[in-house]
A and B are shown apart, each in its own frame.
Chain A
């Protein structure tokens, strides 16, 4: 079960490039690409649709 989702920004271009996901009761961390065919990406979209809020700290 997803715990948190945070936007990652490319360290060179500063563009939004992936999601960092943590899970409930787990030390597992996933970095998920912005690819609609990726099932982790699909799960994040479902989580957002169910009310999940993505943490967004864009680089300055």
Chain B
């Protein structure tokens, strides 16, 4: 260290002068960063359940998919006669305002052996480039979350890693199953699960905007969907572990609340990372943007290419993960095209060429009747009408 002072102008210290200061092991650096709460350390988007573009309460659900809270996909397969509700609740632990609430409104009757009922969030591969996995010295991650349910006991949780851009349900995808325990009924509890990522070196890391990682919170698993090996990485079986009689959909008195979901690099859980609402919304809009919902809502501006062909341009608020689909609630006269002192009612739209993740061109050639060369705008014309763009994983 003495040589750092030097004895002449413009001297540059050598590694020998600096000694151990000249090298900092990357693993140590990562650990230090974790302890000082690195910004955007949470790999989960909308973990505080503040964004629900599709609706704050969606009832009568019998299918899988995205229903209410952004970024949280329901895997609801083979659920027999079950019907459930997903909603953005204001029942939340101290320090939070919202939670994701699930309630069966019709029980499943006899549980199907292949029932899968879990919540999954997919993470883009390029958002986990900072994690080492598929190496002998793979990083660890810590999953933390708050849960409240009427049923105490052991619950399964899983983490998946894509192999060479395999999608979540693909058999090539790697799966780690473990559990946590809910100790007190109807009480908010924070749970943490730490695990080392896959050290197998025969897989290929996922890349780009493809599926990279996901976390699954299991609440229902038929007899053919449980019993998987715990606490080890292995090939995907789309099942969970240590979950005998896991049957959330078996009783309409059941309810579960979830919030504060966080996955971060390292072996300990830091405080939940709150993001400003606008940042959280924009992160969700990369995957789903609700443009208009309800009556008399403006959708986009365009014009009439011919008397029966109107097209419209929409600039997304943020670049989508991939070229988005248009998601429309189609119905008779659900939309109005207004221009040239007249209006033309139409049922839906389709995506035209030149659409990318940065600009969307949509058209209607089925119902439109107007004046060539005139400017038109689209608006919704029914309480149940909506137009959204979707590029979910």
Binding site for B on A (CB under 8 A): 1, 8, 10-13, 15, 17-18, 20, 22, 27-33, 35, 37-42
**Which residues of the partner chain A approach B88 to less than 8 Å between Cβ atoms?**
none
Q: With A27-B330, A40-B390 given, is the CB distance from A11 to B365 under 8 Å?
A: yes
B322's partner among A12, A13, A15, A35 (CB-CB below 8 A) is A35
Most A-side CB within 10 Å, residue of B309, B351, B363: B351
- B interface bracket (residues with beta carbon within 8 Å of A): 20 to 34
A12's partner among B167, B305, B326, B391 (CB-CB below 8 A) is B305
A-B contact pairs, 21 of them (CB 8 A): A8-B350, A10-B353, A15-B353, A17-B355, A18-B352, A18-B355, A20-B350, A22-B330, A28-B327, A29-B329, A30-B327, A31-B325, A31-B349, A31-B351, A32-B325, A32-B351, A33-B323, A35-B323, A38-B391, A40-B325, A42-B167
Q: B218 contacts the other chain (Cβ, under 8 Å)? A: no
B residues 204-246 in Cβ contact with A at 8 Å: 209-210
B residues 330-371 in Cβ contact with A at 8 Å: 330-331, 348-353, 355, 362-363, 365
**Which residues of the partner chain A approach B353 to less than 8 Å between Cβ atoms?**
10, 12-13, 15, 17
Q: Compute how far the CA of A17 lies from the CA of B349 in the bound complex, rounded to whole angstroms.
A: 13
> A11 contacts B327, CB within 8 Å?
no
**Which residues of the partner chain B approach A30 to less than 8 Å between Cβ atoms?**
325-328, 390
Q: With A11-B305, A33-B324 given, is the CB distance from A17 to B351 under 8 Å?
A: yes
> B330 contacts A28, CB within 8 Å?
yes
> B393 contacts A39, CB within 8 Å?
yes
Q: Compute how far the CA of A27 lies from the CA of B350 in the bound complex, rounded to whole angstroms.
A: 15
Q: A12-B305, A37-B210, A38-B323 are in contact. List 5 more A-B contacts (CB 8 A).
A: A1-B63, A8-B352, A18-B352, A28-B330, A40-B390
> A28 contacts B351, CB within 8 Å?
no
> A37 contacts B321, CB within 8 Å?
yes
Q: With A13-B353, A35-B322 given, is the CB distance from A29 to B392 under 8 Å?
A: no
> A38 contacts B325, CB within 8 Å?
yes
Q: B155 contacts the other chain (Cβ, under 8 Å)? A: no
**Which residues of the partner chain A approach B272 to less than 8 Å between Cβ atoms?**
none
Q: B311 contacts the other chain (Cβ, under 8 Å)? A: yes
**Which residues of the partner chain A approach B348 to less than 8 Å between Cβ atoms?**
29, 31
**Closest residue of chain A to B363, judged by CB?**
A11
Q: With A15-B353, A17-B353 given, is the CB distance from A37 to B323 under 8 Å?
A: yes
